[in-house]
Structure 1
Amino acid sequence: MRLLRSTDLALRVLMRLAVAGETTPTTRDVAAAMEVPYTHTAKVVAELQHMGLLEARRGRGGGLALTEKGRTASVGAVVRAFEGDGDVVECEGATPCPLNSGCRLRGALRRAQEAFFASLDPVTVSDMVAEPTGPLLLGISRPG
């Protein structure tokens, strides 16, 4: 399964903030550290804030901070939220699949997708930045 760019970015933002400590990097800082466009990062940050996983403060002394909910968030839940619950394959649309009425593939793929999400459910953001990842992430995240 391939994740959407926004899902990958959301996970990386959460991981970056999980190792930020007392510092509160801005969205621009995080985008620059991860070498991704600011506009994409801003959209993902807005969604993560809406989900209650991070706080974003504007102005002097502002920045991004992971909430407790963000620190203990299930990676599976974050991936589900960003990926949506759509089918893995497109069976409908402009040219519907001729097997649509009797296809067993869609159900099998749906079960595989759910198994993928379920395998991520017990993993938290804090788990993702445990040794050795956290120190490595912090080392590459510092502005140069």
Structure 2
Amino acid sequence: MHLSRATDIALRVLMLAAAQRRQLTIDELAAALNAPRNHVAKIVQQLRHSGWLTTTRGRGGGISLPDTALRTSVGRIVRDFEGVAEVIDCETPPCPLRAACRLRGALRTAQEAFFASLDEVVLQDLIAPPTGSTLLTLT
């Protein structure tokens, strides 16, 4: 399974916010991740809407990570950004093999296993040593 660039950036934003434990700006995040500022801003907005980040406007404002977000599973974050659509689409255009095909079921099982393995990892795990100290030097 291939994760979108938005999902990748979302996970990295959350990791940086978790490791830093201070308010970060969009500009700091964009520079640390070598990503376009506007793209990072849209992702931060989605993360805020999901409750994984808090934002403060104005001078001295920025984004921060609520303590409860540290216990969020990576699987839940990936599902939120990627959706839960099947890996393949057998309907558009209609596949002539779909009546007797086992590929769709096998891929569905693999996708469920992928998410199940990510459900076992929480954000706190991603910043555990030695990774956490590396994340502190990025911003």
TM range (shorter): over 0.9
Distance in 1 between residues matched to 2:57 and 2:32, nearest whole Å: 19
What's the C-alpha RMSD, in Å, of the aligned pairs?
A: 1.1
Code of the aligned partner of 2:18 = A
Query: Is 1:53–1:68's contact at 8 Å kept on the other side of the alignment?
Result: no
Code of the aligned partner of 1:126 = Q
Which residue in the other structure is 1:24 paired with?
23
Which residue in the other structure is 2:128 paired with?
130
- 1:40 paired with 2:29, answer no
After the TM superposition, list the runs of 4 or more consecutive aligned residues in structure 1 that deviate by more than 6 angstroms: none
Distance in 2 between residues matched to 1:5 and 1:98, nearest whole Å: 33
Q: Give the deviation of 1:58 after TM superposition.
A: 1.2
Code of the aligned partner of 1:91 = C
Distance in 1 between residues matched to 2:99 and 2:56, nearest whole Å: 51
Which residue in the other structure is 2:11 paired with?
11
Q: Give the deviation of 1:102 after TM superposition.
A: 2.4
If the length of structure 2 is used for normalisation, what is the TM-score? 0.94
Code of the aligned partner of 1:6 = A
Q: Give the deviation of 1:107 after TM superposition.
A: 1.2
Code of the aligned partner of 1:100 = R
Tell me which of 80, 105, 110 is aligned to 1:112: 110
Question: Deviation digits for residues 25-49 of structure 1, max 9, x if unmatched?
Answer: 1112101111001121111111111
**Identity, % of aligned positions:** 53
Q: Give the deviation of 1:119 after TM superposition.
A: 0.5
Which residue in the other structure is 1:101 paired with?
99
- 1:74 paired with 2:39, answer no
Code of the aligned partner of 2:97 = L
Code of the aligned partner of 2:5 = R
If the length of structure 1 is used for normalisation, what is the TM-score? 0.91
Which residue in the other structure is 2:61 paired with?
62
